[in-house]
């Protein structure tokens, strides 16, 4: 096992999914979002833990993610959030995935591919209620749904939308989005078009907007034990699942005036003990943490000194007695929340956990 690794507590995943289930009740469906390799936590292992603890189905961003889960034996419904090119329709159909649709070209390609394979493909219509990304304008949904119903090998399973700022304290625009969504499926009802599943709630809405829970919710970041922002409630108590760890690989004592790392960006002002650890920006431990972050060694916080390199960085362990090669270093985890690293980087916890590099082994416990 490599010294640097991301340890993922599957018990925390189960706890968080069960917390969502308690929040939404037994009748609503729970779609666990496992795109981007389970937000960096390992999609297959997270999927299994989520399905064991209350999730009914899964969501991914691209068909390839769903195909990999199918190949590993995951049989539950899997929705592809992202739009694909019509020539890629075979990917979703061949893997038995549910596909987001909002264009006639993709709809026709899915229908043709499904007819060729003698299967029916479930689709979910995406409605743009204010995100401004993908989806149909609310006023175009009824006509498009009629086109879906005219396809012999397509089944209209869901209609959904996505919040743009449900993680903010001010929920006024989010409630406007809910109203637009409600008006959309009311228009579908008036037109006599039945849609089995209406869904809109991301993690922030699961926590703070029960009026948006509808028939199904789609928690993402919260199943990994992280809150979408500091402005949402803790109506579900979460346990962070990932710890990012490394080990000391060398320890040296340096005199005052000794430069450390590229560019001599740090120079010791006193006799110091410096440890090198085997992690760098190629692992997702970003260069912009240089001379700003702290880590934990032997239950003590110590500063990062010098620039983070591709494969290594240095810490000042002068205040920690008897540090030796092999000692564990917490980059984030217990006692050092990932949000602290995100704040230094000027980003969000989502980006930090999904940015942990592929060469960092995921250890599932």
pLDDT in tens, 181-228: 999 999 999 999 999 999 999 999 999 999 999 999 999 999 999 999
Residue found under tokens 């989005």: 177
pLDDT for position 296: 98
In the chain, what are the domain boundaries?
10-224, 242-364
Structure tokens, 233 = 């409630």
Whether residue 1 is predicted with pLDDT greater than 90 in this model: the reply is no
Positions marked catalytic: 35, 262
Residue 314 forms beta bridges with which residues?
A: 276, 305
Instruction: Dump pLDDT digits (tens) for 284-343.
Output: 999 999 999 999 999 999 999 999 999 999 999 999 999 999 999 999 999 999 999 999
- Give the contacts of 270 (CB within 8 A, at least 6 positions apart): 256, 318
pLDDT for position 62: 98
| In the chain, alpha helices (H) | 10-24, 35-39, 43-52, 63-71, 89-94, 104-117, 141-149, 172-190, 203-208, 338-345, 349-354
Name the DSSP class of 323.
Answer: -
DSSP for 278-318 reads: S--GGGT--GGGTTT-EEEETTEEEEEES---SS-EEEE-T
Element (H, E) at 246: strand 242-254
Q: Which fold has domain 10-224?
A: TIM Barrel (3.20.20)
Mean pLDDT to the nearest integer, 248-273? 97
CB burial readout 266-294, b (16+ within 10 A) else e: bebeeebbbbbbbbbbebbbbeebbeebb
Which CATH number is 242-364 given? 2.40.37.10
SS3 98: strand
Instruction: Dump pLDDT digits (tens) for 139-175.
Output: 999 999 999 999 999 999 999 999 999 999 999 999 9
Question: Rounded mean pLDDT of the chain?
Answer: 98
Given CA atoms 253, 255, 257, 258 in this order, what sign does their dihedral have? negative
Instruction: Dump pLDDT digits (tens) for 73-91.
Output: 999 999 999 999 999 999 9
């Amino acid at each position: 096992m490599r010294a640097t690794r991301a340890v993922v507590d599957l018990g925390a995943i189960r706890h968080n999914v069960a917390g969502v289930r308690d929040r939404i009740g037994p009748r609503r469906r729970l779609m666990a979002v496992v795109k981007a390799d389970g937000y960096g936590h390992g999609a297959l292992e997270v999927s299994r833990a989520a399905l064991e603890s209350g999730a009914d189905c899964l969501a991914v961003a691209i068909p390839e993610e769903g195909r990999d889960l199918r190949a590993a034996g995951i049989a539950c419904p899997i929705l592809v959030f992202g739009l694909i090119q019509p020539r890629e329709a075979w990917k979703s159909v061949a893997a038995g995935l549910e596909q987001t649709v909002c264009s006639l070209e993709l709809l026709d390609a899915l229908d043709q591919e499904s007819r060729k394979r003698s299967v029916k493909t479930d689709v979910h219509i995406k409605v743009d209620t204010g995100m401004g990304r993908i989806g149909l304008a609310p006023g175009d949904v009824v006509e498009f749904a009629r086109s879906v119903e005219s396809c012999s090998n397509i089944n209209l399973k869901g209609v959904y939308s996505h919040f743009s700022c449900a993680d903010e304290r001010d929920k006024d625009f989010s409630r406007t989005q809910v109203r637009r969504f409600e008006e959309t499926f009311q228009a579908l009802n008036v037109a006599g078009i039945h849609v089995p599943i209406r869904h809109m709630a991301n993690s922030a809405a699961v926590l703070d907007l029960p009026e948006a829970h509808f028939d199904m919710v789609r928690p993402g970041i919260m199943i990994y034990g992280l809150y979408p922002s500091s402005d949402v409630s803790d109506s579900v108590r979460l346990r962070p699942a990932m710890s990012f760890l490394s080990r000391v690989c060398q320890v040296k004592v340096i005199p005052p005036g000794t430069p450390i790392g590229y560019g001599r960006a740090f120079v010791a002002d006193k006799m110091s003990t410096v440890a090198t650890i085997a992690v760098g920006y190629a692992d997702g431990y970003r260069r912009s943490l240089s001379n700003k972050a702290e880590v934990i060694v032997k239950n003590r916080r110590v500063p990062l000194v010098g620039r983070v390199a591709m494969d290594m960085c240095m810490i000042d362990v002068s205040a920690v007695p008897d540090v030796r090669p092999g000692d564990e270093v917490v980059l984030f985890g217990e006692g050092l929340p990932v949000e602290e690293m995100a704040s230094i980087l000027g980003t969000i916890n989502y980006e930090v956990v999904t940015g942990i590099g592929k060469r960092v082994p995921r250890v599932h416990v």
